[in-house]
Each structure stands twice: as structure tokens, then as C-alpha cells.
Amino acid sequence: MLMTALLILPVLLILATLIHKGGSIISAEFLFSEPTNGMTAGGIFPALYGTIWLVAVALMISVPLGVAAALYLSEYAGDNWFTRIINLAIINLAGVPSIVHALFGVGAFVLFFGFGTSILAASLTLAIMTLPLIIVATKESLQAVPHAFREACWNMGATRWQTIRKVVLPNAVSGILTGVILEVSRTTGETAPIMFTGAAFFLPFLPESVFDQTMALSLHLYVVATQVPNVPDELPYGVALVLIAIVLLMNSLSIAFRMWLRGRKKW
């Protein structure tokens, strides 16, 4: 009990500090206006907007790919050397530091594929970095669906794909969703992978396509905290607060959605 309380303490302390030091700057104007006066005043809208872009595009790439990979590994693949190598690769991919992903992103997407520093290159980098999260979460939730369900379905004459689509996936949605939300949280906060692949220090316009560069909240926080002189103290704290709020909001939404799904479960 005491240990559990201790676990909550850092979260509360971080939130309290951020709200205490940065809460005063948060307003609709702060959220929806552009930075002015050499980024020492004004709002954070371009960064907020850019983060939504980066996360959305990264999800569009990694969710279909990750879920498909997990389906194959969990439902189709036999236990042979090939599968074991793939599983090993996934675990290793999860352990690669984000800055290494960044370098890979620069080499592969920015230079080799010629996407330039763009949302596409940054989101692809983020997607690859977060693929293991989705794959592992999906695989685990697929395996949590009792095998008897599948057998019952097969005995009714359903094909393997029909079984997956009508029985296995609907029962695994909440777990898959957890993976997606974890990915959103992680993608929102990452700085290193986007720094060289798509995020700009300052951009006087909002991105309009995936081939544009963008500002991003995480990099903006790094910039106002370490690069720009004479920033008022509450500004970096305010940016950090918004960043944390997005992550907490996404997490609570997913928890609510999962509880709703679980309530409908009949086993």
C-alpha cells in the first residue's frame, strides 16, 4: 500500500510543479496563437498542431503494419527459426535508443528515399520506433483470447480469417487499443527522432502536407528551455504542462474506452 502511494507521488509532484510554475500562462490564447517576439512570447499553436500531425501520420503507418504483423505472428506463424528471429528482432527494435532511430531516419527516409526533412520522414521514424509497442501489445491481447473460442468457430466451418475477423479481433480490441495509446503517448513526447528528420526550430507557417516540415511540442520545449535567451520562466513550464496534459488525456480516454469495452464482454 505504502509502495503504491510512493508510485503515485512522482506523478503528482511533477504535475504540481508544472501547474504551480506554468499554470498561469495556460489560456486559450496560449494554445491557439503563434509564438512571437523571438519565441519569448505568444502561444504554441504551430507546435501543438505539428505534434498532432506527427502522431496522426505515425499512427496511420504503424497501426496497420503492427496489427498485421502481430496477427501473423500470433495466428498464422508456426514456431520455427524464422518466427523466432522475427520475435528477437522486435525485442531488439524496442531496445534501440531513440537517437539511433533518428540517425536511421535521416539516412533512410530523409536522404535515401528523398523525403527531405518532412512530416513523412519524421513520422516514419516514429512509426518504426513504436512498432514493437503495437506488435507486443496486440500479440499479447490476441493470445489472451481463449483458444476454445477459435476451436468453436472452426468447428462451425469458419475459415481462419473469418475466425480472426469475427471472433478473435473483437475480443482483443481493448488490448490493441492499449498499445495504440502507449504509442501515442510515446510519440508525443519523443524529441530525438524528429529533431533531424522533420521538426523545425521555427516555422512561420502551418504544415499543409506530409512533405512539409513542422514545429513540434517536444522540440519546442527543448528549444525554449535551452536555446532561446530571455524566455520568461513560466513559458517552458507551460509547454511541458500542455505536453503532459495531452498524454494524460489520451491515457484516460483509453482507460475509459477499455472499461466500456470490458463491460460488454460476456466472458
Partner 1 sequence: MRSKQLSYVLAGAIVAAFGSVAEARTLIQNKGSDTLVNVAQAWAEEYRKVDPEVAVAVTGGGSGTGIAAMINGTVDIANASRKMKDKEMKLAKDNGQNPIEHIVGYDAIAVFVHMDNPMDEVDIKALAEIYGEGGETQNWADLGIEVPGCKNQEMVLVSRQNNSGTYAYFRKAVLGKARDYKLGTRDMHGSKDVVDLVEKTPCAIGYSGLAYATDHIKMPCVSKDGGACVTPSVATASDGSYPVARPLMMYTNGEPEGEVKAYLDWILSDVGQCIISDKGYAPVRDVSCN
Q: Interacting stretch for partner 1, rule CB under 8 A, among 2-10, 45-53, 143-151, 153-161?
A: 45-53
Residue 122 in contact with partner 1, rule: CB under 8 A: no
Q: Give the per-residue contact string, 202-241, with partner 1 (x = CB under 8 A; - = no).
A: xxxxxxxx--xx---------x--xxxxx-----------
Would you count residue 38 as binding partner 1 (CB under 8 A)? Answer: yes
User: Nearest distance from residue 38's CB to partner 1, in Å?
Assistant: 5
Q: Cell numbers at residue 148, please?
A: 476454445
Should residue 180 be labelled a site residue for partner 1 when binding is judged by CB under 8 A? yes
Confirm or reject binding of residue 39 to partner 1 (CB under 8 A).
yes
Q: Whose Cβ is closer to partner 1: residue 49's or residue 83's?
A: 49
Using only C-alpha atoms, what is the Rg of the chain?
21
At closest approach, how far in Å is the CB of 225 from partner 1?
9
Instruction: Tell me which residue of 116, 123, 106 sits closest to 60, measured CA to CA.
Output: 123
With CA atoms as reference, report the closest residue to 48 among 216, 234, 195. 216
Closest distance of CB 204 from partner 1, Å: 4
d(CA 123, CA 175): 23
Specify the amino acid at residue 200: A
Cell of 19: 501547474
What SS3 class is residue 176? helix
CB closer to partner 1 out of 83 and 143: 143
Please, which residues bridge with residue 42 across strands? 35
* DSSP code for 75: I
Stretch of 95-103, 148-156, 201-209, 233-241 contacting partner 1, by CB under 8 A:
201-209
Binding mask 49-68 for partner 1 (x = CB under 8 A): x--xx--xx-xx--xx--x-
How far from chain centre, in Å, is Cα 111? 24
CA distance 2 to 17: 22
- Minimum CB distance to partner 1 smaller for 23 or for 257: 257
3-class SS of residue 12: helix
Q: Report which secondary-structure segment, H or E, holds 143.
A: helix 119-143
Q: Which residues bind partner 1 (CB under 8 A)?
A: 36, 38-39, 49, 52-53, 56-57, 59-60, 63-64, 67, 110-111, 116-117, 165, 169-170, 173, 176-177, 180, 195-196, 199-209, 212-213, 223, 226-230
